[in-house]
């Protein structure tokens, strides 16, 4: 990625994130009240992800799952996962839980468009691949996010969902991320953002299951 492209992406990230965060503040406020009403625990979910240059950061989301964790807690969230709260299911369906990640963008941890950030476990498993992927900031959306927007449904039928993710889905996501980085451009990012908005609008008109895991 050239310096000019990187600068243009960063300017677009900051302008779009600040404006969207201002507009989304009422939505976040209402969601916060509903989260507290629905289940005990914090409003926000924070978890470590690996960012550009293999530097860890705390990703911020609205909490959609029960707060208590057990020894067998899984980072894979399947469709109809019982850990997801009533309000959390609604927030995840329309991606409202992702809104606080705009703060991550303003901080410089993330970008609007870029490979979705993974946890350390999965990055270490594919360390050689992520050496090139993590040359850029991870993003809120990317081609892999669009292709696997119903990932939870796909994994629900697997005998071992996590192994299915590692063996079959993660390698395809890595391939899509590498292709995105090889062809990165501001115009390409705008197309991905437009496709993401179209997908979100379609979710409002269809009955849609959970369809994601907690890392995406």
Summarised one tens digit per residue, pLDDT across range 105-149 is: 999 999 999 999 999 999 999 999 999 999 999 999 999 999 998
Q: How far apart are CA 204 and CA 192, in angstroms?
A: 19
pLDDT above 70 (res 198) = yes
pLDDT of residue 94: 87
pLDDT band, very low/low/confident/very high, at 210 (cuts 50, 70, 90): very low
Task: Give whichever of 62-66, 150-154, 187-191 has the largest mean pLDDT.
Answer: 187-191
Decide: 59 and 51 in contact? Cβ < 8 Å. Answer: no
Domain edges within the chain = 3-204
Residue 167 DSSP code: I
pLDDT of residue 15: 97
- Secondary structure (3-state) at 115: coil
Q: Counting Cβ atoms within 10 Å, is residue 197 exposed (0-12), middle (13-18) or buried (19+)?
A: exposed
Q: Which of 35-39, 150-154, 158-162 shows the lowest per-residue confidence on average (mean pLDDT)?
A: 150-154
Percent of the chain whose predicted confidence (pLDDT) is above 70 = 88
Cα angle 13-15-21, degrees, rounded to a multiple of 5: 90
Q: Which of 1-5, 50-54, 62-66, 86-90 shows the lowest per-residue confidence on average (mean pLDDT)?
A: 1-5
**What is the value of pTM for the model shown?**
0.88
pLDDT of residue 134: 97
pLDDT band, very low/low/confident/very high, at 216 (cuts 50, 70, 90): very low
pLDDT of residue 97: 94
pLDDT of residue 78: 61
Mean pLDDT of the chain: 89
pLDDT band, very low/low/confident/very high, at 209 (cuts 50, 70, 90): very low
Decide: 112 and 17 in contact? Cβ < 8 Å. Answer: yes
């Amino acid at each position: 990625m050239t310096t000019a492209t990187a600068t243009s992406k960063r300017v677009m990230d900051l302008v779009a994130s600040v404006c969207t965060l201002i507009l989304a503040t009422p939505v976040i406020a209402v969601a916060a009240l509903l989260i507290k009403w629905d289940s005990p625990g914090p409003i926000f979910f924070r978890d470590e992800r690996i960012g550009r240059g293999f530097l860890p950061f705390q990703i911020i989301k609205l909490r959609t799952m029960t707060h208590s964790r057990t020894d067998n807690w899984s980072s894979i969230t399947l469709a109809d996962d019982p850990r997801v709260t009533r309000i959390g299911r609604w927030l995840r369906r329309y991606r409202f839980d992702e809104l606080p990640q705009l703060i991550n963008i303003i901080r410089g941890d993330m970008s609007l468009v870029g490979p979705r950030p993974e946890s350390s476990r999965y990055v270490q498993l594919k360390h050689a691949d992520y050496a090139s992927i993590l040359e850029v900031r991870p993003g809120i959306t990317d081609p892999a996010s669009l292709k696997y927007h119903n990932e939870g449904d796909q994994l629900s039928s697997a005998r071992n969902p996590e192994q299915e993710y590692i063996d079959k889905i993660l390698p395809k996501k890595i391939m899509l991320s590498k292709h995105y980085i090889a062809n990165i451009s501001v115009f390409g990012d705008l197309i991905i953002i437009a496709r993401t908005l179209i997908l979100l609008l379609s979710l409002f008109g269809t009955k849609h299951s959970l369809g994601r895991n907690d890392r995406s």
